[in-house]
Structure 1
Amino acid sequence: MPSPFPGMDPYLEHPDFWPEVHHWLITAIAEKLVPQIRPKYEIAINKRVYTINDGNKNDLLVGIPDVTIKRPPKAPNTQSNVAVISQVTKPITVTVPIPEEIKQAYLEVREMGTGSVITAIEILSPVNKRPGEGRKTYLKKRQQVLGSLTHLIEIDLLRGGEYMPILDNPFQTDYRILISEESKRPKAELYAFNLSQPLPSFSVPLQKEDQEAIINLQQIFNEIYDRAGFDYRIDYQMETIPPIREEDQQWVKQVLEQTPET
């Protein structure tokens, strides 16, 4: 059963689902690319590891007890000459910030034989779009790619968080795909689209003499939604994270009302 939405399903941006969606997308894009680029190129799935230490995450609450201290009832005063025993302080449970290791997969199109990275394909995660070490690490790697001979494809299917830097960017859309070809820098192609629009198809740049590979992102997403069984796992009566913009709420309501069993 397909998603009720014509493009990205905003319910899959929920923290409980997004890591799985990210994994499915990385794998499915690699599967679609291999037949188009072989035998000259290979696809490598790599992982970047973030260690979050900054303690600024909303889910790291320091000093918030899980239980409260209740004052014990006073013992009956049967004898005035009996010494009063002082109350014993008992520990409470708190949460302390600890380093969190986050693994994020990305794709590289490499030339067979030489191992040269021709194209890097990134799918952004929340750690890339919020302040902290995860964003700093990704932006540093992004700048390295933009200053190299490697093409960059950056897919952002998350409404929350801060956009990746683009100079003179007038587009404030829900989602975006950036394609930066090495030979055209600093110019790049930007697919900017909103919740109500289908996911676009786009070309994967290779070397000049090669025909570009094509990624139909909407088709890939539809296949993932069905294969992962999201149709019976998502509760469409719940609120989305992040919330739907006020101007889109009525449209989302109509979409769900027209879809059976949502």
Structure 2
Amino acid sequence: MPSPFPGMDPYLEHPDFWPEVHHWLITLIAETLVPQVRPKYRVAIEKRIYEINSLGQGGNGNSLLVGIPDVSIHQRAGQPEVATLAADKDSTSQPQTVTLPRSEPVKQAYLEIRDLQTGQVVTAIEILSPVNKRPGEGRTTYIQKRQQVLASLTHLVEIDLLRAWPPMPVLDAAAASDYRVLISNSERRPKADWYAIDLQEPLPTLPIPLLGQNESATLNLQALFDAVYHRSGFDYVVDYSREPSPPLAKPEHEWATALLINKSLRD
């Protein structure tokens, strides 16, 4: 059974589903691109590691740091533990149980199309996740890496299928939309193509720039999303009788409710 929505399914933005959606999209995009770009290019799945601080900014758990957890949180072999000095006098106070902040590693995949002969990164493909979008050090670090790409000869394809949190910055007043895709061809910078996509619309077919002015591959984003929904069996696990997370604004909520009622997925 396909998703009841014509484009992106807002129910899959839920934190329980999004990591799986992200993983499947990265994998299927790579599978789609490989036969189009070989033998000149290689499609590589790369990973970056974020650390989520459980205390976070203001105690909300949203502080995100880029790092390698195994290096930062494990004690070196042979390093002695630091003992706490006890007071000389006796104390009658009883200890209180507290919770210490800890870091949890989160791995996020992205794609690089590389020239097979030179190893040059021709195109970077990013699918944004909460670690990139919500305010904090994670967003700041991603924007810095984004700026490095935009200052290079590497093309950037940035796919944002999350309604929550502010979109990535652009200088022009881009049209407001539920979802968006940015395609920045290095030869056209600072100009770029911005796809503004609303909930009621199907996802677009994207040209993926390569080397040479007329050289590109193609990604049918809607077909890829439909394949993710089918392969993951989301029709068995998504409860459309409840509201999506994050919730929809009033016009979209009314439209989605009518759609789900019409498809017998909501009373």
Taking structure 1 as the reference length, the TM-score comes to 0.85
Superposed CA deviations along residues 53-77 of structure 1, whole A, max 9, x for unmatched, are: 471277539xxxxxxxxxxxxxxxx
Structure 2 partner of 1:190: 194
The whole-number CA distance in structure 1 between the counterparts of 2:214 and 2:115 is: 12
CA deviations on 1:185-226 (whole Å, 9 max, x unpaired) are 000000001111100001000011663100000001001100
Matching residue within 101, 106, 109 for 1:105:
109
Partner AA of 1:202 in structure 2 = L
**Equivalence for 1:172:** 176
Deviation at 1:113, TM superposition (A): 2.1
Alignment of 1:23-102 (within 5 A): 23-53=23-53, 55-56=56-57, 60=61, 89=94, 91-92=96-97, 94-102=98-106
Per-residue CA deviation, residues 95-149 of structure 1 (Å, 9 max, x unaligned), is 4322232211000000112111000000000111111121111111100000000
Shift of 1:259: 1.5
Equivalences for residues 1-262 of structure 1 within 5 A: 1-53=1-53, 55-56=56-57, 60=61, 89=94, 91-92=96-97, 94-208=98-212, 211-261=215-265
TM-score scaled by structure 2?
0.83
After the TM superposition, which segments of 4 or more aligned residues of structure 1 sit over 3 Å from their partners? Answer: 57-61, 87-92
Using the TM superposition, name which of 245-254 and 149-158 deviates more.
Answer: 245-254
Partner Cα distance (1:133, 1:204) in 2: 29
Cα pair distance change 1:57/1:163, threshold 3 Å? farther
Question: Aligned AA for 1:2?
Answer: P
Closer, same or farther: CA 60–146 of 1 in aligned 2, 3 Å: closer
> How many residues in Structure 1 have an aligned counterpart in Structure 2?
236
Match of 1:78 in 2: none
The answer (yes or no) to whether the contact 1:52–1:133 under 8 Å persists in 2 is no
What's the CA shift for 1:168? 1.9
1:33 offset after TM fit, Å?
A: 0.4
SS in 2 for 1:178: strand
Identity of aligned residues (%): 58
Distance (Å, rounded) in 1 between the aligned partners of 2:177 and 2:222: 18
- Preserved CA contact (<8 Å) 1:52 1:100: yes
What secondary structure sits across from 1:26 in the alignment? Answer: helix
Deviation sequence 1:71-104 (CA, Å, 0-9, x none): xxxxxxxxxxxxxxxx985744x54322232211
- In the alignment, structure 1 segments of 5+ residues that lack a partner are 62-86
Aligned Cα root-mean-square deviation (Å): 1.9
SS in 2 for 1:145: helix
Per the TM alignment, residue 29 of structure 1 is displaced from its structure 2 partner at its CA by 0.4
In 2, Cα distance between the equivalents of 1:188 and 1:209? Answer: 14
Q: Is the 8 A contact 2:241 2:265 kept in 1?
A: no
Structure-2 separation of matches of 1:253 and 1:261:
9
Stretches of structure 2 that go unaligned for 5 or more consecutive residues are 63-91
